[in-house]
Structure 1
Amino acid sequence: MTHPNIPGFTEHRVRVDDGVTLNAAVGGTGSPVVLLHGFPQTRLMWRHVAADLAADHTVICPDLRGYGASDKPAETGPDVYSKRTMARDVVRLAAALGHGSFTLAGHDRGALVAFRAAMDHPEAVSRALFLDVLTTPDMWNALHGVSGAVGFHLYLMAQPPGLPEQLIQASADTFFAHFLDAWTNDPAAIPADVRAHYLAASAAAVPSIVADYRASAGVDMDHDTADRKAGSRLAMPVTVLQQDWGAALGYHAQGLWSAWADDLRHRTVSCGHFMAEEDPRLITDEIRALTGR
């Protein structure tokens, strides 16, 4: 399978753990910014934002472990795809590329990894941007009643190994295409060639994608809940951009995020879930504003 790169960026493969190498697109010069993709995507979701930011930043766009062209280790235990492990991957990747401190932005699953990296490695993450996500405990608490059906995939992939992998692999294109269609306000934002890449990359990574989600119903909850009980907070400047899911699911997003971050800028946006592709100018401007804080 071919994995298209971001135009003008070079591809790097960096070993971050025993038997785990991440694939990353790197471009530009200046202060470093690391961009983490979401589901069901790869580093290519940042193609517009990364190309713009590269004018004045060194931009690093990895495929997370288990996704895209990065390695996909077997789920031999709950920590293999914990956000703590995936966050450590990202910090090690940046260090190997010469950056001990960086601005970190994440979307969806990548935002959960970014949150854990900011919590576990505050010396490395100088600023953080989270796109269209809640922390794991807040997410599970927000899903209730019939309105929680929007998160059906979370419950499916939380099941023990076997059933979810078989069900998804049996109709992988239909399954992953559902989210690309349902979560996009502007279908033209994900052109046919990019869509085909996302579908092929996701179909080739079903076990590791399921393992990533399964971790969020187990070990990730344990880690976030422990931090909440300990009163741990993010000390660095934080920006959160979200759709107005609160109106449908009955939560106050800014209030939830305020419980985690001291220096918080929260903004509700009108574009769809895949905002880095639907409104890249907005995301680029917010990252530049964050790096200036």
Structure 2
Amino acid sequence: MNATARLFPGFRQETIQTSQARLSAVAGGSGRPVLLLHGYPETKAAWHRLAGPLARGHTVVAVDLPGYGDSRVVGDPADAGSKRWMGAQLHELMVGLGHEHYAVVGHDRGARVAYRMTLDRPEAVTSLTSLAVVPTLDMWSGATKNFGMGAFHWFMLAQPFDLPERLLSADPTYFLDLTLSRMAEGLEHLDPLALAEYRRCFLDPDVRHAMCEDYRAAAGIDERHDIEDREQGRRIRCPVLVLWHEGRTFGPGRVPLDIWRDWAVDVSGRGLAGGHLLPERAADEVLAELDVFLGRD
């Protein structure tokens, strides 16, 4: 039995070909569909504590972001790191699985793809849950010395090809373990099977390159898309749930709930203990919030 089967018992493993990607996913349960999108530097394995309980009342799809994990970019599409491009491939995935309408739950980078999907495809996304992030435009505009020192990878991975790729290739496992240890407040807080999956995938230079493209897009086209939305007055109309690391603020002391209210008309949420990796460190609390929130759909 492979690691994915052990982390997601009862789920079927899917490989879906979209127009410009080959996506690796797991799916299970029945009911209204929910798409789970993981963050950097992880894979769909990040949802192993939440997917099973959610599947008791929903059809759950957890997927490796394009280029991450076992998902691969096909060909040489323009702006393959952009959240708009990623979102388009993931929408194709959901439609291919028979889901024209679905909720999206995203953590970290996955939340950035999720809110872009919500803005770009309001007819498809029924609700948005954002774990641990604020929109990219607000992240850059509120960047401080403390942010730069703590989240240095935002600047490092966004450097032009192939500087960050070369730096990461020197000792990928050391870099990954250091990153995850800081995020999880110790590697001992992560499931050994999930950690092994993160390490396996991060050893692949194509995966590391995709991560760099993701961050390059955040410093370029993703920010431009956010600026265009802000200038055109576009807002998220579906319900939005925001959960974040308790005590975390952005920019000049703003809490995520207030920032998201600049972007959406129906926002609720709260801070949770457990650090950045909420799907793994605060799974029970996240699940309790999702049970109530997704019941609104």
- Same fold by TM-score greater than 0.5: yes
Please state which band the TM-score falls in when normalised by the shorter chain. Answer: over 0.9
Instruction: Report the counterpart of residue 29 of structure 2 in structure 1.
Output: 28
Is 1:267 the counterpart of 2:270? The answer is yes
**Corresponding letter in the other structure for 1:251:** R
Return the letter of the residue paired with 2:271.
Answer: T
**Residues 44 and 70 of structure 1: CA distance in aligned 2, closer, same or farther (over 3 Å):** same
Q: How far off is 1:250 after superposition?
A: 3.1
* Correspondence for 1:117: 117
Aligned to 1:141: 141
Q: 1:76 to 1:100 in 2, by over 3 A?
A: closer
- Which stretches of structure 1, 4 residues or more, deviate above 6 A after TM superposition? none
Give the alignment of 1:154-233 within 5 angstroms: 154-185=154-185, 187-204=187-204, 205-233=207-235
Q: Does 1:287 align with 2:293?
A: no
Give the % identical residues.
Answer: 35
1:168-189 deviation digits (Å, cap 9, x = unpaired): 1112111111121001146443
TM-score normalised by structure 2 residue count: 0.93
Contact 2:68–2:211 (8 Å) recurs in 1: yes
Contact 1:66 1:208 (C-alpha < 8 Å) held by counterparts: yes
Q: Structure 1 residue 242 and structure 2 residue 220: aligned?
A: no
- 1:249 deviation in Å? 6.7
SS at match of 1:17: coil
Aligned equivalent of 1:132: 132
Deviation at 1:212, TM superposition (A): 0.9
Per-residue deviation at 1:98?
Answer: 0.6
The verdict on how the C-alpha distance between 1:29 and 1:39 changes in structure 2, with shifts beyond 3 A counting, is: same
Asked if 1:108 is matched to 2:111, the reply is: no
Pairs aligned (count): 290
Which residue does the alignment assign to 2:68? 67
Number of the residue aligned with 2:45: 44
Instruction: Note if contact 1:66-1:73 (Cα within 8 Å) is conserved in structure 2.
Output: no
Q: Determine if contact 1:37/1:107 at 8 Å carries over to the other structure.
A: yes
Deviation of the 1:195 alpha carbon: 1.1
Q: Is the 8 A contact 1:107 1:130 kept in 2?
A: yes
Q: Is the Cα–Cα contact under 8 Å of residues 82 and 221 in structure 2 kept in the other structure? A: yes
1:147 is displaced (CA, Å) by 4.4
The question of 1:256 aligning with 2:269 is answered: no
Q: What is aligned with 2:98?
A: 98
Distance 2:250 2:81 in 1: 31
Bigger drift between 137-146 and 203-212 goes to 137-146
**Cα separation, 2, equivalents of 1:248 and 1:232:** 22
* Letter aligned with residue 219 of structure 1: I
Unaligned runs of 5+ in 1: none
User: Which digits, 9 at most, give the CA deviation of each residue in 1:85-144, with x for residues without a partner?
Assistant: 111111111111111001110000000000100010011100110000111111112221
User: C-alpha root-mean-square deviation of aligned residues, in Å?
Assistant: 1.7
* Paired residue type of 1:137: L
Are the counterparts in 1 of residues 22 and 74 from structure 2 also a CA contact under 8 Å?
Answer: no
Aligned counterparts of 1:27 and 1:191: Cα–Cα separation in 2: 21
1:142–1:249 Cα contact (<8 Å) kept = yes
- 1:15 corresponds, among 14, 17, 39, to 17
Q: For 1:176, give the aligned amino acid.
A: L
